Amino acid sequence: MGLDITWAVDWVRRSADVVAEHRVELIRLDRDIGDGDHGENLDRGFTAVIPKLDDLAAGSTPGDVLKLVAMTLISTVGGAAGPLYGTAYLKAAASAGSESSLDGEAIARLLTAARDGVVSRGKAESGDKTMIDAWTPAVDAATAAAASGADATAVLAAAADAAEAGALATEPLVARKGRASYLGERSAGHRDPGAQSTALLLRAAADAASDSTGA
């Protein structure tokens, strides 16, 4: 019971919804320690993806959907989130390849590829108070779940739980990358907006999975 194009499209729609819903929260988090554009930029990016979903050719795969998201975010976001998430979705698309259905192992590989893309683009490490602090726990949890035989839906649920915990755990950290690093010690006590948006997007992926498989 793998995840197919229906899941991928639903993930994108849920992502657009959740980002719009949390737009003000993300802006506030980013205003605390950054330049305040994260919520607005992501909202613009995902809003731009939605109409393009209708143009997907028949027979499109999850990989095609992820690539569409990547190219749209890269072109429309305008802040660091554009190239970072754009690269994440692009690497995820490459990992998914032309498979029409993704099982637990494939989902874990896809998340790993996405995380590796963000690392190579942003050069951040764990503990730098960036979206990596949500991505890496998610990848670790997904990989462990897949190794224990979990299906794709359970793998995504594990990833989403770990990403949320990871985002929460960025609060005491002092930023060492990105605009927040200019604040030094003053960045402690605030949750990283990129880690928070990563948690939201992975939760959207898990919710889309659990709906599509009725789990």
Partner 1 sequence: MPRPTRPVPEVGGQQRIGLVFVSHSAKIAEGLVELAAQMAPSVALVAAGGTGDGRIGTSFDRVTAAIGEADSGAGVVVLCDLGSAILTTETALDFLDDDVRDRVAIADAPLVEGGVAAAVAAESGEPLDAVVAAARSANTGTGSDSGAPDDASAPRDADTPASDAPPDTSTADAGVGHVRRATITNADGLHARPAAELVKLASTFGQRVTVNGTDAKSLLAIMSLGLTKGASIEIASEDPEGGAAVDAIAALVQSGFGEH
Q: Which residues bind partner 1 (CB under 8 A)?
A: 35, 37, 41, 74-75, 77-80, 82-84, 86-87, 121-122, 177-179
Which residues lie closer than 8 Å to 81 by C-beta, 6 or more apart?
A: 38, 41, 42, 45, 73, 194, 197
CB of residue 132 to partner 1, shortest distance in Å: 14
Closer residue to partner 1 in complex, CB, 77/150 = 77
3 backbone dihedrals φ, ψ, rounded to 5°: -100, 135
Q: What is the dihedral of CA 59, 62, 64, 69, to 10 degrees?
A: 140
CB of residue 6 to partner 1, shortest distance in Å: 29
Closer residue to partner 1 in complex, CB, 75/126 = 75
Q: What is the dihedral of CA 193, 139, 161, 198, to 10 degrees?
A: 20
Q: Which of 49, 30, 48, 52 is nearest to 39 (CA)?
A: 30
CB of residue 122 to partner 1, shortest distance in Å: 7
CB of residue 96 to partner 1, shortest distance in Å: 19
